[in-house]
């Protein structure tokens, strides 16, 4: 017979719970509890985060992230939008085409939001590293291992210094994101100067949006690329409108296949990525050409937005962050069905010096679907390429 443990009455009714003396009920409770824990673990795998500027994202355990989807109130077709919307983001397509200024707003806003999220992810990563090292320090002290204690203290001090710098960058990026939200309220006469200032800090060229002439006419198109070569060599050297234009031949940077689909790609990788550089006048650009052997690549990866980040981690421990000059969408090859992306990133002098002198360890690319990191085995690929432009 089951025993009961009575608890106080609520609204005149006595509530009761089975004690552990009922084995059948206990097994059911245990199974339910285990199921709950599994479900809770799955849910907690995605950590919701709100950045300093108000962006809502979901952070994954593997470092990837995506915007937290929300239903816009009054949206009868349940269209999902990101959790951070500005007036510039919600302007209709027709209106955006009619106004160069609004195009500029969108470019700046998009770049600022992406850069703030990336700055936050770095801070979050460093905070977790510091916490982990402090646990190691505590364990070393308990074991009275002086050598491990000294090492842990050194690592913690280095991480905390990096964290301090990362927090400053994060706060700065958040302020830039806030400034882009205020562009619509700035007086017309002050707007061009503010857009140019933001563009300079975000690495976004907005001169075409605040000057006369068509933006499209001022953005050079990427011409078709030749086959990959092993070493750096100049394949185009011409002068147009008194500006010298140089283009190097592409080389392989990395191949990639996500772990969850490697069984389907035994002989080839899903993604192959080539790199080359071009120089127009004094402006240097890094180009990435992605080839994906899947018609669904555009659905899974989306596109590369204007201002999207390319993070290059060097073997020295430093990193270089570049931003996409223009949006890049996947194009399906007619005969192969492969999806191609051509992306262009501007490189300044300081970034050139870093890339030219140190081998590359990995690269992280911001797609519209989220951030993905790639291991680079051709560690000297960028150094060899830049030999043509030193």
Q: Which residue has the higher pLDDT, 165 or 135?
A: 135
By the 8 A CB rule, do 120 and 170 touch? Answer: yes
> For residue 285, is pLDDT > 90?
yes
In this prediction, residue 29 has a pLDDT band, given cuts at 50, 70 and 90, of: low
Q: What is the mean pLDDT of the chain?
A: 76
What are the respective helix, strand and coil percentages of the chain, to the nearest 5? 40, 25, 35
Residue 105 dihedral angles phi and psi, to the nearest 5°: -55, -50
Burial track 184-214 (b if 16+ CB lie within 10 A, e otherwise): eeeeeeebbebbbebbebbbbbbebbbeeee
Q: Which residue has the higher pLDDT, 194 or 18?
A: 194
In this prediction, residue 288 has a pLDDT band, given cuts at 50, 70 and 90, of: very high
The predicted model scores a pTM of 0.45
Q: Which burial class, exposed, middle or buried, applies to 91 when counting CB atoms under 10 A from its CB (0-12, 13-18, 19+)?
A: middle
For residue 191 the two structure tokens come to: 């707007």
pLDDT at 341: 92
Output the DSSP codes for 272-288: EEEEEEEEETTEEEEEE
pLDDT at 51: 92
For residue 362 the two structure tokens come to: 């990995």
In this prediction, residue 229 has a pLDDT band, given cuts at 50, 70 and 90, of: very low
From residue 112, how far is each of 60, 102, 307 by CA, in Å?
A: 21, 15, 8
Average pLDDT of span 91-106: 59
In this prediction, residue 33 has a pLDDT band, given cuts at 50, 70 and 90, of: low
pLDDT at 317: 85
By the 8 A CB rule, do 102 and 354 touch? Answer: no
Lowest mean pLDDT among 26-30, 277-281, 296-300: 26-30
Question: Which residues on adjacent β-strands are paired with residue 5?
Answer: 17
Distance CA 115, CA 113 (A): 6
> For residue 162, is pLDDT > 80?
yes
Distance CA 33, CA 19 (A): 16
Q: Which residue has the higher pLDDT, 125 or 36?
A: 125
> For residue 194, is pLDDT > 50?
yes
Burial track 111-149 (b if 16+ CB lie within 10 A, e otherwise): bbbbbbbbbbbbbbebeebbeebeeebeebeeeeeeeeb
> For residue 106, is pLDDT > 50?
yes
pLDDT at 25: 55
Question: Which residues on adjacent β-strands are paired with residue 370?
Answer: 367
Lowest mean pLDDT among 150-154, 229-233, 276-280: 229-233
Average pLDDT of span 278-289: 91
Output the DSSP codes for 125-172: HHHHHHHHHHHHHHHHHHTT-HHHHHHHHHHHHHHHHHHHHHHHHHHH
By the 8 A CB rule, do 344 and 286 touch? Answer: yes
pLDDT at 69: 66
Q: Give the angle subtended at the CA of 276 by the CAs of 270 and 280, to the nearest 5°.
A: 140
Lowest mean pLDDT among 87-96, 99-108, 354-363: 87-96
> For residue 95, is pLDDT > 50?
no
Distance CA 127, CA 74 (A): 39
Q: No. of H helices and E strands in the chain? A: 10, 18
Average pLDDT of span 30-37: 54
* SS3 label, residue 322: strand
pLDDT, tens digit, 9 for 90 and up, residues 137-146: 999 999 999 9
């Amino acid at each position: 017979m089951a025993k009961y443990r009575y608890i106080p009455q609520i609204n005149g009714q006595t509530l009761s719970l089975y004690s552990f003396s009922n084995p059948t009920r206990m097994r059911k409770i245990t199974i339910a509890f285990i199921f709950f824990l599994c479900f809770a673990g799955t849910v907690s795998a995605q950590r919701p985060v709100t950045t300093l500027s108000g962006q809502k994202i979901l952070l994954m355990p593997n470092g990837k992230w995506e915007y937290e989807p929300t239903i816009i109130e009054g949206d009868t077709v349940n269209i999902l939008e990101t959790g951070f919307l500005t007036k510039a983001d919600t302007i209709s397509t027709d209106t955006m085409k009619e106004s160069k200024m609004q195009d500029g707003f969108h470019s700046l806003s998009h770049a600022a939001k992406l850069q703030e999220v990336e700055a936050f992810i770095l801070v979050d990563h460093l905070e977790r590293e510091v916490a982990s090292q402090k646990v190691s320090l505590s364990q070393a002290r308990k074991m009275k291992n002086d050598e491990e204690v000294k090492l842990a203290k050194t690592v913690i001090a280095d991480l905390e210094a990096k964290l301090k710098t990362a927090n400053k960058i994060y706060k700065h990026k958040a302020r830039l994101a806030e400034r882009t939200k205020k562009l619509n309220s700035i007086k017309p006469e002050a707007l061009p100067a503010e857009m140019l200032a933001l563009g300079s800090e975000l690495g976004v060229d907005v001169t075409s949006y605040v000057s006369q002439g068509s933006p499209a006419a001022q953005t050079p198109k990427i011409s078709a690329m030749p086959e990959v070569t092993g070493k750096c060599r100049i394949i185009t050297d011409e002068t147009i409108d008194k500006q010298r234009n140089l283009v190097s031949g592409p080389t392989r940077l990395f191949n990639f296949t996500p772990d969850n689909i490697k069984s389907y790609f035994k002989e080839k990788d899903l993604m192959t990525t080539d790199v080359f550089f071009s120089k127009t006048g004094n402006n240097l650009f890094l180009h990435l050409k992605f080839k994906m052997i899947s018609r669904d690549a555009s659905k899974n990866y989306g596109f590369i937005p204007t201002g999207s980040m390319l993070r290059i981690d060097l073997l020295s421990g430093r990193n270089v962050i570049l931003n996409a000059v223009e949006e890049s969408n996947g194009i399906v090859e007619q005969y192969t069905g492969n999806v191609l992306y051509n992306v262009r990133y501007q490189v300044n002098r300081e970034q050139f010096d870093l890339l030219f002198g140190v081998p590359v360890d990995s690269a992280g690319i911001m797609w519209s679907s989220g951030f993905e990191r790639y291991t680079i085995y051709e560690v000297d690929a960028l150094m060899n390429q830049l030999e043509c432009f030193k």
